[in-house]
Structure 1
Amino acid sequence: MGATVSTNGTARGGRGARERILRAAEDLFYARGIHATGVAALIEAAQVSPRTFYVHFPTKNALVEEYLRRFESEKSIAAEAELERGDLPPAQRLLAIFAPVGGDPALIRGCPFHNAVVEGAGELPEVARLAQRHKRAFRDRLVATAAEAGAADPEALGGQLAVLFEGANALAASCNDAQAFTDARRAAETLLGVALDTAPEG
């Protein structure tokens, strides 16, 4: 079936419809919140018909779940992706994560996984599962990077840095103030200094 055309000439179906819906979800869910973003707003932003929307996503919850999965498979969270940089030594990669999530200094919304779990309030078990999986994987990457940096106890350092990172994101989003990231980075520098000073020689 070909794409239909809206009154302003914009395609409302076709092969790109699913991608447009997901892009709309990324923008609106993150900026406005999941509950505050209705299906009508998603349909309008994606320029699809209601029928096309529900063909791709039978429920709004299904779209929420796919929105989160994309951060794992296609679009890494920018601050977390710092751990994969090849141009920085391991210790510097651990510090580089302490940057605002989202990139817009005027609008700090924190971690999309954390936000989705809070909004779900225990009523979206698959969202909670996705968030738990993501957080465990992120902590594991921190531990691995800490080991690469030569930390005496990578498990402890990785866990501590995870707490700092999550706390900075939550506080910055609550107050819309990036100072939390500056404070968290300074604390991380102290932790790294201790962890690397006590690393065994060899």
Structure 2
Amino acid sequence: MSSTTTAKKTQRRGRGARERILAAAAPLFAQQGINATGMEQVAEAAPVSKRTLYAHFPLKSDLVIAHLRELAASGLTLESVLTREDLDPRERILRLFDPPAPDANPVRGCPFIDAAVEFPDPLSEIHTYACEQKLLMAQLVTELATELGAAEPAALAEQLVTLADGAASRAMVLNQPDYGRHARTAAEILLDRAARH
């Protein structure tokens, strides 16, 4: 076997292990919280050796950041609806208030807010990344509000994302997946009012 073939096999195994680690970490972080989930528990669930786990993620913060990046890229977060080309701008905004998928149990709210709460130091890498995602959400809503002709799109966007994040948090605390319906009504009023100005 050539050294090139061996290297390719090693790379495939490495990618497979990394993917298994992230796949194992995601439900543990969602169900238990990030700080309550130990690296040994992730290694056992993956399953990989601790040596393999630390080869891919030398620090737990490395694993958390990779997990959050994967979530952001997955299209499964609240914010992902804002970039859907098959929906008009108003519908994209209102979809922020849809209940999560039926298999998303228990209700966990926004993973970026959850991460920021668990890592409250605003200078920490995890908190900073969570903040970037929430700012991106506001930027995307601002762009949609601009398309809708709102007189003050940035202000409207802040109101709408505050409603969306608040609804997601209350849905989690109350374990009511459809709690967003209350905020959706308020969002419709804000959008109608902005359209009239």
Q: TM-score range by the shorter chain?
A: 0.7 to 0.9
Q: Do the aligned residues in 1 keep the contact of 2:98 with 2:178 (CA within 8 Å)?
A: no
Cα offset, 1:104, TM superposition: 3.5
**What per-residue deviation string (whole Å, max 9, x for no partner) do you get for residues 90-142 of structure 1?**
11111011124565354110111111111123287111110111111110000
Structure 2 equivalent of residue 187 of structure 1: 186
Q: Which residue of the partner structure matches residue 52 of structure 1?
A: 52
State the TM-score, normalized to the length of structure 2. 0.87
- Secondary structure in structure 2 of the residue aligned to 1:94: helix
Q: Contact 1:152 / 1:195 at 8 angstroms: preserved in 2?
A: yes
Which structure shows the bigger proportion of residues in helix conformation? 2
Question: How does 1:127-166 map onto structure 2 within 5 Å?
Answer: 127-166=126-165
Structure 1 distance, partners of 2:97, 2:51, is 42
Paired with 1:153 and 1:124, the residues of 2 have a C-alpha distance of: 31
**Moved segments of 4+, more than 3 Å:** 100-106
In the TM superposition, what is the alpha-carbon distance from 1:52 to its structure 2 partner? 0.4
Comparing 15-24 and 79-88, the one that deviates more: 79-88
Match of 2:74 in 1: 75
Match of 1:29 in 2: 29
Q: 1:71–1:195: structure 2 CA closer, same or farther, 3 Å change rule? A: same
Provide structure 1 residue ranges, at least 5 long, that are not aligned to the other structure.
4-12
The normalised TM-score by structure 1 is: 0.85
Q: CA deviation at 1:28?
A: 1.3
How many residues get paired? 189
2:94 paired with 1:87: no
Could you tell me which residue of structure 2 aligns to residue 43 of structure 1? 43
Q: Which consecutive unaligned segments of at least 5 residues does structure 2 have?
A: 1-5
Alpha-carbon shift at residue 160 of structure 1 (Å): 0.5
Change (3 A) 1:55 1:33: same
Identity level (%): 43
Whether the 8 Å CA contact 1:102–1:109 is kept in 2: the answer is no
